[in-house]
Structure 1
């Protein structure tokens, strides 16, 4: 069984202009980091022209499908039934994107099949994490 799930999603960047351009994005889940989800944007879709990834709690994405959530760099909220809004806050500015809620639900179902919610702690390697911390110190 694979320990990594990747799913391409179509994101729409909310801009001042009336047209919302579509940008490619990838949702990524790795059983070795069971609490986290990564959303990656390729270089052509970013202002800096480099690949950008945001890492945030899987629970944030799940809760954000139904209710506004997040107080930090990443905020998620529903926008009707069929869209979900993700806000990414950085010193350079804020990016607001819409994604199809069905695609997010599919991704979350796939990640839950790999690591059910509430069982993430069973997939942590505390010895390896402690070794990494000590190595970096």
Structure 2
């Protein structure tokens, strides 16, 4: 068997883009062929098409163009083909098309307001607004 495309995380034949969004950043990854994705709480193997969109809020406005100084608020994943995934809440095998949407859990005792407008077809139109009761960035 010969695979025309292989990638692991952001390496290999995967297409990776960081898109500025309204009050946030969207990290977009698309991969075809065999793709392996590993993160602290995720392991997945896809044979087909893999696409993930990670929406980050800008915690501190000073760091608005990088993922540093941001918080992961939303993870949207699309797998088309054969997919295997293990993460903190699920383990499964899928054949066909599978979509998954996970929001950042609200921490115990956390006091914040969160508003997210998300369209996976237009990641640049994503709006992520977070308002914390605490003074996180030195300015409130």
Between Structure 1 and Structure 2, which shows a larger proportion of helix residues?
1
Superposed pair shares fold, TM > 0.5: no
TM-score, reference length from structure 2: 0.29
